[in-house]
Amino acid sequence: MATQKRAKKSRLPAALDRDTLERMLYFLKLTREAEWRIEQSLYRQGKIVGGVYVGRGQEAIGVGTAIQLVDGDVVIPTHRDFSAFIIRGMTLPEVFSNWMGRVAGPTRGRDGGPHLGGLRRGIIAITSQLGAWCPVACGVGLAMKRRGTKNVTVTFFGEGTTSRGDVHEAMNFAAVMKLPVIFLCDNNAYAYSTPTDRQYAVKSLATRGAIYGMPGESVDGNDVLAVHAAVAKAVARARSGGGPSFLECRTFRMAGHSAHDAAEYVSENLKRQWAKKDPIVRFEKYLLAGKILTRRRIQEMETGIRKEIEHAVAEAESSPLPEAHESEEGIYCQSPCWWEQARESCPS
Amino acid sequence: MPRKLTRSQLHEIYYHLHLNRRVDEQLTVLYRQGKIVGGVYSGLGQEAISVGTAHALEPQDVIGPMIRNVGALLVRGYRPRDLFMQYMGRKGGPTGGRDANTHFGDMARGLVAPISMLGELVPVLAGVALAARIRKEKRIALTYVGDGATSTGPFHEGLNLAAVLKLPLLIIVENNGWAYSTPVERQTANPDYAGRAKGYGLPGVCVDGNDVLAVYHATQGAADRARRGGGPTLIECKTMRMKGHAEHDDARYVSKEIVEKWRRKDPILRFDKYLRAKKLITAAEEAEVQARIEKEIREDTAFAESSPLPVPEEAGRAVWA
C-alpha cells in the first residue's frame, strides 16, 4: 500500500518511455543476480581471486545515473556501482573474468575485482585509495570543458569517502572552475563498520554542496526514479555550463563491507527496516501497479538474465589464467627496474 | 556573556599589537640589509587576529600558529630577539639556526611549530585537542588557516574529525583576501567561510579581523564553549594582507584601491583610537609603552646581530636519523 502511494507520487518523467523503464528494471535485476553469483557462489567455490565487494541494495543509484548518460560522458564507478559498468558497455564475461583473474578480464588477470576501466566506454578505473579519483574526475571535467564537448563526468563515492581530503579538494576545485562534474555520494550508512554518526556531524550531507557554492541535494537512493530525476537535473546543469553538483543518495549496504565480513555490527532491526525498502522490489511493484510491465514479462526477463549469467560464467571459466611471464606486460617500468638497478649497485 | 577586559588587560593587548607591528617592521629592515636567511613573511594588517586570539586563551591552551601569527608567539612569551635570531639563522634562535622564519614551537609555551604545508596543522591540533580530552585536561587547542589553506584536504579532514568527536578545537580562518596571488574568488565559489562550518555540523562565526576586541570576544566565547564540552568552532576573521606574500613579492596584482581601503581600517590605529576615545589609556601611558617597545627592538636587534652563527658540526644534532 505504502509502495503504491509512493509509486503514484513519483511522476513519470517525460523522457522515460516504457522501453527505458524496462531497461532500468533489467539492469537492476541483472546487477543483483550477477553480484549474487559472484558473492554467494563463485567466491564460496574458491573461484574468485581476492575479496568480493558488492553493492546489494544500492543498485538503483548506478542504474538511475548511468542509464541517462550518452557517448562521451565519463563515469568513475566504485566497487558498489556494478550496474554503471554494465550500462556503459562492460560485458558480463569481462566482469566475471576479472573477478576470477582470467585473461579475458580487462586487467587480464593482473588485478582482481572492481578495479575496472576502459576509456573507450568512458569508464575510469578506481584505485583502492578511496576518493583519490575525485580530483581525477575534475581533470576529466576540465578536459571536457576545454574541448567544449558538453559531456559530463560522474564520480561515485561512499559517505565514508566524503571525509577524505581528496573529495574536498576536488569539490572546491570543480566549483571554482565550474566543471561539468557530478559528485555522487552513495550514502549506504556504513563505511566498513563505521556508522554515519561517527563519520560526520551533520544531519544531511547535502549541506556539503552549498559550502563549495554548488547545489547539494539528498534523494532516496532506493528509488530509481528519484535518483534518475535528481541526476537529470545535475546533468542538465553541467551540460549547459552551470558547473558541478553534489548529490547524496541515501541507501543501505545490504551486505558486509566485503564477502568476508558478516557485518555483525549492523543491527538486525536496521537490516529488516531497509529490506522493506529494497529498490528492486519497489520499482517492480511500481511498474506492475502502473501496468507498465506484466508479471509475465518480468518472469521472462528474469529467466533471460539467469541464462545470460550462466553463459557469462561459463565463458569466463573457459578463459585461461594468465601465464606467469605475462605479469610483466602492460606495466610502465620495464625490467631492469630501478629497484633492481639499486639492488645491483648496493654493496651487500 | 563576554567578560569585560580590565584596563591593564587592554594595555597588554595594546603593547602586543604594537610590538607585533614593530617586530614586523624591523624584520623588513633586516631583510633589506641582507641579514636574514631566507624569506620574510609579514603579518602586517593581521595583528589583531594573532594578538586577539592568543589573549583570549588560558595559559594551558595550545596554539598552532602559522607564518603570519608572530603576534601569538609574542603573547606566549617569545621575545623580539628570538625572532630576530631565528630569521638571521643564529645559534641562539629557537631552531639554533637549523630552520628559518617561524618554523618553531615550544610545548612549554603551548606552541606547536608550523610546517610549510598549509592546512596540515588542523589535524595536528585536532590531535592535541583529542589528547586533552583523553587526559581529562581543561585544555583547548587553536590554530589558524588562511583562505587558501581552506582548499587543502587536511583542513577538511581535521575539521570533520573535530566535529564528529566534538573536540575542543578552535579554527581561525584568516581571510586576508589573497593566497599568494590567488584572490578569494579564484579560491572558492562560496566566499562565506564561516558558513562552511554548517557543512561539518559546528558553529561558524564571522568577525571583523581588524577589530581586536571582536576577535578577542569571539575567541573567548568559542573557547568557553569548547571547555564545556560543546565542541569545535570555526571563526572567520576578515582582514587584508597589507604586504606581498613575502618580502620578495611586491603584490602588484593587488589593486591600490583595495590596499587604500584597508589601510583606513588598520587594526592598530583603530584600537588606539578606541582606547583614547574611551579614555582607557593616557598619552603618558602610550608614550611609556612605545618607549619600552623601541628599547626592546633596539636592544634585541643588537643582541641578535652580535650573537653567533651555528658551527657546521651542530647541523647534525637534534635530527631523528
Task: Please write the tens of the pLDDT for every residue from A87-122.
Answer: 999 999 999 999 999 999 999 998 877 889 999 999
A with B: how many residue pairs have Cβ under 8 Å apart?
77
pLDDT at A215: 98
Q: Read off the C-alpha cell for B280.
A: 582607557
Q: Catalytic residue at A265?
A: yes
Q: CB A144: neighbour CB atoms within 10 A?
A: 22
pLDDT at A15: 64
Q: Which of A129, A161, A163, A172 to mutate to test the interface with B (most CBs of B within 10 A)?
A: A172
B318 part of a folded domain: no
pLDDT at A2: 42
pLDDT at A114: 83
Residue type, A298: I
Is A273 a residue whose pLDDT tops 80? yes
Residue B159 near residue B122 (C-beta atoms within 8 A): yes
Instruction: Tell which residue, A266, A322, A333, A312, has the closest CA to residue A92.
Output: A312
Residues of B belonging to the active site: 241, 245, 253
Q: What mean pLDDT is predicted for residues A185-202?
A: 97
3-class DSSP state of B282: coil
Residues A21-56: tens digit of each pLDDT: 999 999 999 999 999 999 999 999 999 988 999 999
The C-alpha torsion from A202 through A210 and A140 to A333, rounded to 10°, is -40
Residues lower than pLDDT 70 in chain B: 1-2
- A213 contacts chain B (CB < 8 A): yes
Q: Which of A208, A211, A246 to mutate to test the interface with B (most CBs of B within 10 A)?
A: A211
Which CATH number does the domain housing residue B198 bear? 3.40.50.970
Residue B161 near residue B126 (C-beta atoms within 8 A): yes
Cis (ω within 30 of 0) for the bond into A336? yes
Q: Read off the C-alpha cell for A195.
A: 556508522
DSSP category for residue B178: E
Alpha helices in chain A (DSSP H): 2-9, 18-36, 59-66, 82-87, 92-99, 133-147, 165-177, 207-212, 224-239, 268-275, 279-289, 295-318, 338-345
| Chain A residue numbers touching B188 (CB-CB < 8 A) | 172, 175-176, 212-213
pLDDT at A113: 79
3-class DSSP state of A227: helix
Nearest residue in chain A measured CA to CA from B167: A201
Percent of chain A beyond pLDDT 70?
A: 92
| Chain B residue numbers touching A173 (CB-CB < 8 A) | 151
* Residue with grid cell 596554539, as numbered in its chain: B63
pLDDT at A10: 45
pLDDT at A334: 65
How far is C-alpha B218 from the geometric centre of its chain's CA atoms? 15
Q: Give the residue numbers spanning the domain of B290.
A: 7-311
Whether residue A164 and residue B157 make contact (CB cut-off 8 A), yes or no, is yes
Distance (Å) from the alpha carbon of A156 to chain B's nearest alpha carbon: 18
> What distance in Å separates the CA atoms of residue A82 and residue A139, rounded to the nearest whole number?
23
Question: B22: buried, middle or exposed (CB in 10 Å: 19+, 13-18, 0-12)?
Answer: middle
Is A205 a residue whose pLDDT tops 50? yes
pLDDT at B164: 98
Considering only CA atoms, give the Rg of chain A. Answer: 21
Is A5 a residue whose pLDDT tops 50? no
pTM beyond 0.90: yes
Q: Read off the C-alpha cell for B242.
A: 597589507
Q: Which of A108, A228, A257, A282 is catalytic?
A: A257
- A214 contacts chain B (CB < 8 A): yes
**For chain A, what are the domain ranges?**
2-345
pLDDT at A335: 62
B2 part of a folded domain: no
Whether residue A202 and residue B201 make contact (CB cut-off 8 A), yes or no, is yes
Whether residue A169 and residue B151 make contact (CB cut-off 8 A), yes or no, is yes
B81 part of a folded domain: yes
Distance (Å) from the alpha carbon of B123 to chain A's nearest alpha carbon: 11
Q: Read off the C-alpha cell for B119.
A: 592546512
Q: Catalytic residue at A79?
A: no
Residues of B near A (CB-CB distance < 8 A)?
151-157, 160-161, 163-164, 166, 186-190, 195-196, 198-202
> What distance in Å separates the CA atoms of residue A197 and residue B253, rounded to the nearest whole number?
45
Please state the ipTM of this predicted complex: 0.93
Residues A222-252: tens digit of each pLDDT: 999 999 999 999 999 999 999 999 999 999 9
Domain A2-345: give its CATH architecture: 3-Layer(aba) Sandwich (3.40)
Q: CB B306: neighbour CB atoms within 10 A?
A: 8
Residue B55 near residue B142 (C-beta atoms within 8 A): no
Q: What mean pLDDT is predicted for residues A77-92?
A: 96
Instruction: Tell which residue, A144, A12, A9, has the closest CA to residue A71.
Output: A144
Q: Which of A265, A297, A311, A343 is catalytic?
A: A265
Give me the number of domains chain B comprises: 1
Residues A315-332: tens digit of each pLDDT: 999 999 999 888 877 777
> What distance in Å separates the CA atoms of residue B317 and residue B321, rounded to the nearest whole number?
10
* Residue with grid cell 581525477, as numbered in its chain: A136
Determine if residue A235 is left, alpha or beta; phi over 0 gives left, psi from -120 to 50 gives alpha, anything else beta: alpha
Strand partners, B106: B111
pLDDT band for position A348 (50/70/90)? low
B278 part of a folded domain: yes
B31 part of a folded domain: yes
Is A342 a residue whose pLDDT tops 90? no
Q: What is the mean pLDDT of chain A?
A: 92
φ/ψ of A190, rounded to 5, equals: -140, 135
